[in-house]
Amino acid sequence: PKKGIRKFPRSQQDKIDFSRLELEQYIESHIEEAIEKRWIKVYLQVNIRGLSRRVCGAEALSRWVDPKYGMIYPGDFIPVLEKSLKIHLLDFFVFEEVCRNIAKRRNRGEAVFPISLNFSRLDFDVERFLDKLDDLVALYKIPKSILHVEITESVVMHNEEYMKFAVRQLREQGYKVWMDDFGSGYSSLNLLKEFEFDTFKIDMRFLSDMGKKSLIIISSILYMAKEIGIHTVAEGVETEEQYQFLKAAGCERMQGYCFGRPEPIENWLAERIEENGVESGEDTFLYD
C-alpha cells in the first residue's frame, strides 16, 4: 500500500462498540417478549399548572426493566425500535397500559387526570393503528379528551402533508394533539402556522442555559401561542429560578425534575398530589 494511506483510519467512527451492537440486537429481537412478559413499564411524570403549581396531568414515558441488562431507557430502545419498524408495538402497548390503568381507577371511583403519550411518526404508517386505538378506548370506556398524543417536531417535518393528515385525523377522532420538543426542529414557525395542535411542549434546550437569547425565545413562543390560542407546556424545568421565570412569562403548564421524576404508573403520582394538590376542573381532573 502507498505510504501515508492506512486501510483503517483510526477515527472514533470506525471503532465498533460491540456491547452497544449487542444491546441493539437484543432490543430488536426481544421487544415482543418484553411486552408480553411486562418488562416494559409505563412511568408517569407529573405536569403542574404554572400559576398554582397543582397537579394537572402527566406524561407517560416507557422504561424497559430487563432481566439481563437492568433498566434500559427510551434513548436506547426507541431509535432501535424505529429502525426495525417495531415502534408501533411499544406505542400500542403503552397506550393500552394507560387505558387499563385509567379504567381500573375509575372502576374504583378514584380520580384520574389527563395523560399524554408519545407517538412515533411511524405509528401512522401502520394499517388501522388509529382504529385500534379507538377500539381500546371503547373497550376501556375512556373519555378521549383526557388522552393527549405527543408528536415530536423533527419527526413531523419528515413528511409534512402526511403528518398534517395524521394530526387532523387524531383530532377528528377526539384526541388532543401536542407538538413535542417545540423549537428543536427547523421550521417551528411554519408549524405554528400550518398545523392544528392543541398544545406546544417547549423543548428543554431553551431552558437549560437560561441565557438572554433563550429567555427571549421562550417568551416569544409563549406570547405567540397565547395570541393564536395554543396551550403551552415547558419541559425540563429543573430549578426554582426556571419555574419562576416561566410562571412570570405566562407558561400554562410545566414538567420537569423540579416537580417530580417519572414514577411507575401504579402509584398514580400519589406523593406528588399530596405535595402539590390537584387542579380541579372538567378536563384537568375527573371523578367518575
Per CB under 6 A, residues contacting ligand C2E are 45, 61-62, 73-75, 78, 87, 90-91, 94, 118-120, 150, 152, 180-181, 235-238, 256-257, 262
Contact positions vs Mg ion (CB under 5 A): 118, 150, 152, 180-181, 235
Nearest to 228 by CA among 183, 264, 195, 259: 195
Local structure of 150: helix, strand or coil: strand
CB of 71 to ligand C2E, least distance (A): 11
C-alpha cell at 215: 429567555
Pairing state of beta strands 147-152 and 231-234? Answer: unpaired
Set of cell numbers at residue 109: 371511583
CB of 45 to ligand C2E, least distance (A): 6
Least separation in angstroms between residue 14's CB and ligand C2E is 28
> Of ligand C2E, Mg ion, none, which one does residue 78 interact with (CB within 5 to 8 Å by kind)?
ligand C2E
Look at residue 61 and give the partner it binds from ligand C2E, Mg ion, none, a contact being a CB closer than 5 to 8 Å depending on partner kind: ligand C2E
Closest approach, Cβ 59 to ligand C2E, in A, equals 6
> Which cell numbers in the block locate residue 130?
388509529
- 286 Cβ contact list (under 8 Å, min separation 6): 111, 112, 113, 143, 146
User: How far is C-alpha 127 from the chain's CA centre?
Assistant: 22
Do residues 160 and 191 touch, judged by C-beta distance below 8 A?
no
Question: How near is the Cβ of 109 to ligand C2E at its closest, in Å?
Answer: 28
Q: Which amino acid is at 178?
A: W
62 binds, among ligand C2E, Mg ion, none (CB under 5 to 8 A by kind): ligand C2E
Looking at beta carbons only, is 108 or 230 nearer to ligand C2E?
A: 230
The entry of Mg ion, ligand C2E, none near residue 73 (CB within 5 to 8 angstroms by kind) is: ligand C2E
- With CB cut-offs between 5 and 8 Å by kind, which of ligand C2E, Mg ion, none does residue 277 bind? none
Nearer Cβ to Mg ion (30/234)? 234
* Closer CB to ligand C2E, 74 or 250, in the complex: 74
d(CA 118, CA 149): 6
The answer to whether the beta carbons of residues 232 and 221 sit under 8 Å apart is yes
